[in-house]
Structure 1
Amino acid sequence: MIDFDRETWIYLLIIAAVITYFLWNKGSASRLRKHKKNKNFRMRYLARKKKKKAG
């Protein structure tokens, strides 16, 4: 196995943490975007349904 010194391990851990953070946020952002899109669609659908029912 490759023998790294303490400083190299710290740098590798920081890089791994940053990559994990960005991947986690990418997934969260896409889930939030999808949820917002579905919510807007439901609101428009209900508004059209209500307008049709009233008219």
Structure 2
Amino acid sequence: MTKAKNVSIHIRADEDLAKEFKRVVEAQGYTQSLIMRELMKDYLSKNKQPDLLK
């Protein structure tokens, strides 16, 4: 089995929002990357359309 390739995603955010996000995430003992991955998975599970041709 091959390992999935990691990619980077860069986003723009208001400075205050980014600082507060980092502060809260780190206070909870997580990384920003972990939380963003979980947010992305949650979004996809709620919004991804099923592939009807599979």
**TM-score, shorter chain, exceeding 0.5:** no
**TM-score tier (shorter):** 0.3 to 0.5
* Higher normalized contact order (CA 8 Å, seq sep 6+, divided by chain length): 2
TM-score, normalization by structure 2: 0.35
- Structure number having the greater helix percentage: 1
TM-score, normalization by structure 1: 0.34
